[in-house]
Structure formats: structure tokens, C-alpha cells
Structure 1
């Protein structure tokens, strides 16, 4: 057991709580999803030994355990990014904690730029696969492996069964949901150049962002089933020629947040049926 796991287990036991099977990561601007939860426990990352606080606007930086509808979930309200420290360890430590606590599946969300010309701001892309363009891997070095194999299979990094459930629900949502695409994870924090976006388009990327890939790799290494979705908050550089800003990201999410929360809440209810 690691220090974060021991600490959170103690917090759970103090309140008579147990680890749920489902965990979720709430990306930029999606912290409002916690409004859908009846929260039983809230723990700031910075209070957990071995974890780091998030420094990005829109990321509360805490674990929350509670119920959404009939499903109990352990949520990461905000995340740490590679560009915040240049170190993979703080990014994946919370994911490793979730996996070692016993969470079996992970719903992961992010804000992303649309590389695919058919994607508009406010659309949602279900993630079918990803490109690791960060120039490193969270499993480098045996000290960073923790539990799990050194060479995890990434053929189905995003669970086909969970993706099928997300696709099945898409038609009932008021959102425009693209039923499967490739997410490119970049280092950041600068936004990409038009030439880089052209490269990513050629490589097969549909959306681009600065997260998700390291977390998905570690979740797979720990044997967790992952389902991911990207909120398209802006056109990527060069697609339409407009300048990019984090304010645009937050503003776009605010326009669809209620519908996105409703969709995610309904999807979470489907998970127990897969057991």
C-alpha cells in the first residue's frame, strides 16, 4: 500500500464508507458535475500524503465520494497536468490510488480542441483511441510502476463494452455526440501551432488536449476499464484561424454543462448492468 491509499482508506473507514467500483475524472469546467452527487466524503489532494494540488482554473483538486442516482462513485474533481511540473508522477498518482483502492472502472473527461473539421465547439467526442504525443510515458522506470505489469496491453485502452454503452445513449442526448474518435495528448501548456494540428490530422487525430493519455495508460496497467469523452471547446489552431484561449474553453463548457452532466449521470447508471 502507498501513503495515499492508506490515507484515503482511513478516511473512508472513519465514515463507514467503502471503495466503489466506479471512479471518474472531471476535467476543465466540469467540476459542477459534483452538484449531481450526494457527497459523503471530500478530501483535497493537497491533504493526501504524496499527492499534489492542481493549479489550473476550473480544477478544484479534490477527491469526492458520493452517489449519482443509484450509483456510488469516487470522483477526481479536477486533475494535475504534465505542464504544471514536467513530472508524470503527480499526474498519475491519483489514478494509481483509485486503482489500488479497488476501483474497477474509470470514466475520464477532458476539454479538447477539435482537429476534425466536422467537430464544432460544444460537441462531445467519445474516445475510441489515443495518440501519446507527450514525449514520455508514466510507466518509465521501475520505481514508477507500482502494481501492474511493465508492458500493459493497450489494444483496447478504452473499453469496447463501456464505449458501446456510451454510444447507445448518445442518440437520447441533447448534445451532439460523435461516437468514436482519436484523442491526441500533447505536453502543453502552449496551444498547438497550425502546422502541429495539420500533423495530428494526418496522423488520424480528431481532437487534441493536454491530459487523459497518462491517466489512461496507468488505469490500463492496473486493469481498470476506461471510458473517455472529450468536450470540444474550440477549433484547434488553423482550423478556422481564430486565436485560442482558456477563457473560451470555460465559456464553451458552461453552455453545455447541464446537458453533459445529464448524459454522464445516465451513463453511470448503466455501469452496474455490465457486472
Structure 2
């Protein structure tokens, strides 16, 4: 465990709490590449840049604004991470998940985690959304390595249901209602393969991950989910499938292409998340 990790979490949470005007967020949202506009849906927002918060890392990735937006969404108090941190940025995995523990300390009980991902399942297509049912941690690290602080969670947290089953059922019902109302949403469900990045994978590694049971691949999320479950938070994970990553049919890809597809999918994504926040029982 990093030196003074628990103390730093408490100090960061206290600094934020003093600026919240007695608001206690109950739902946290972590927004991935190209999905940050969701923060614009928050009512009466309080915006706090990461670089103002004691001990906080700073987001360095294009498409990540690097700030908390705190307020209400569908009448419920939320805290939104408009931009996240990644292992490939050079941060330790403990630093990557630091905001998860800070959100828990602020009062968050449920976490919606989103990302942009490449689709490895041949039945998917770019523009789909995928509910994450489980993950493969292929990052080579785990945020819980080191001394465990009981104040954060148990030494050996259970991961048998890392992504809340009831949340997934609710999200699928909402998607059905959206389709019934004319929204052309394609909601898949599958296993997210988390890699360290930052390079996109070569064909052989994509083929390997698909054979291991992965349906989508990306460079985030798994560390945050491990920390969230360690902290006792319930998690809904959603991937925006921005490209197809079929090893045998791989084509060149840029980050700009990923963000462009995420931007096209954004209205459906926002509608799904808003309705989830509206209907979920905390």
C-alpha cells in the first residue's frame, strides 16, 4: 500500500466535502473516452478540477476533461468523473483507483463505470453498447496488492458477482423500453478484457483473448471495479463498442476513431444511464 494512502483518501474526501454545500452523492459515474458529455446532464453542478484536489492524479488523455461534476441527475445526488486515470499513464494501480475510494468516503454506494472498447465478439458491431457481465484482468497488476486497510475493505474481497446482476437486469429492461419508443439501441452483454495499454493489441493477442472468453477489450475499468467491490460498492459496467477488434480481420485504428464512434453513440448512452439512475434503488 502506498505511503499514507488511507490518510490521503480521507484528506481528499474532506477537501471535496467542504465544497459540496451539504450534498452527499449516492451514485458515482466514471465516464470513458468520448463519453464525458454525460456530465453536462447534471443539474446545479459543482465542478472541481482534479488538479485542485489534494493527492489527486491528473488525467492526461485526450477526450478526458479531468474534473468531478457533482449535483443531481434525475433527482438523485451524483458525483461524475469526467475523465479517469489509466495504468498506462504511468500511475500505479493504487493511484488509478484512488478516486473510487474517495467517492466511497463521500457517501457513494453505487458506481456506474463506462469505457470505450474494441469488440471481439463477432456478433457485435461498432456503435453497440455492452453490459459488462464479468472481466478478465490482463493488466498484470491488482490495486489491492500490498498492506490492506480494514477501513477500506476486507483483505480478500469476493468477486463472484463483480458486476451487479440486478443492475444488468434493470439496464436490459430500460433498453427494451427505449427500443419500444423508437431508439435504435443495440445492447449486448459480455466479458470485458482489461489490458494495460497503451498500444492497441496485435492480431495474435486479440485472438488469444477471444479464445479465453473475452467479448470486448479496453485499457481501463478492471482496477476500478476491483477497488469498488473491495469498498463494498455495487457496480454497473457499460462498454461503448467503438471498433471491431477481431484478430483475424484486424484493421489499423486511431484514438480519434474511437472517440468519433463514442460521440455518435453518446445520445443512446446518455438516455440509458439517465434512466438507470432514475430507476435504480440505492
Corresponding residue number in structure 1 for 2:208: 199
TM-score by length of 1: 0.94
The one of 238, 258, 272 aligned to 1:229: 238
Instruction: List runs of 5+ in structure 1 lacking aligned partners.
Output: none
* Separation in structure 2 between the aligned mates of residue 136 and residue 15 of structure 1, nearest angstrom: 34
Corresponding residue number in structure 1 for 2:172: 167
Tell whether 2:224 aligns with 1:215.
Answer: yes
Aligned pair count? 272
TM-score by length of 2: 0.91
Tell whether 2:156 aligns with 1:147.
Answer: no
* Separation in structure 2 between the aligned mates of residue 56 and residue 144 of structure 1, nearest angstrom: 30
Please show how residues 68-217 of structure 1 align to structure 2 within 5 Å.
Answer: 68-142=73-147, 147-173=152-178, 174=183, 175-178=185-188, 180-217=189-226
Instruction: Tell me the alpha carbon deviations over residues 75-94 of structure 1, each in whole angstroms, 9 at most, x when there is no partner.
Output: 11110100001511221000
Post-superposition shift, 1:3?
3.3
* Separation in structure 2 between the aligned mates of residue 6 and residue 16 of structure 1, nearest angstrom: 17
Cα 1:107/1:159, change in 2 over 3 Å: same
Instruction: List runs of 5+ in structure 2 lacking aligned partners.
Output: 1-5
Aligned partner of residue 172 in structure 2, secondary structure: helix
Asked whether the equivalents of residues 185 and 209 of structure 1 are also in contact (C-alpha less than 8 Å), the reply is yes
Asked whether the equivalents of residues 128 and 187 of structure 2 are also in contact (C-alpha less than 8 Å), the reply is yes
Post-superposition shift, 1:235?
0.8
* Separation in structure 2 between the aligned mates of residue 146 and residue 210 of structure 1, nearest angstrom: 28
* Separation in structure 1 between the aligned mates of residue 265 and residue 55 of structure 2, nearest angstrom: 35
Corresponding residue number in structure 1 for 2:3: none
* Separation in structure 2 between the aligned mates of residue 130 and residue 76 of structure 1, nearest angstrom: 21
Tell whether 2:38 aligns with 1:33.
Answer: yes
* Separation in structure 1 between the aligned mates of residue 67 and residue 60 of structure 2, nearest angstrom: 12
Cα 1:181/1:169, change in 2 over 3 Å: same
Instruction: Tell me the alpha carbon deviations over residues 121-154 of structure 1, each in whole angstroms, 9 at most, x when there is no partner.
Output: 1000000000000011110011688611111000
Q: CA RMSD in A?
A: 1.7
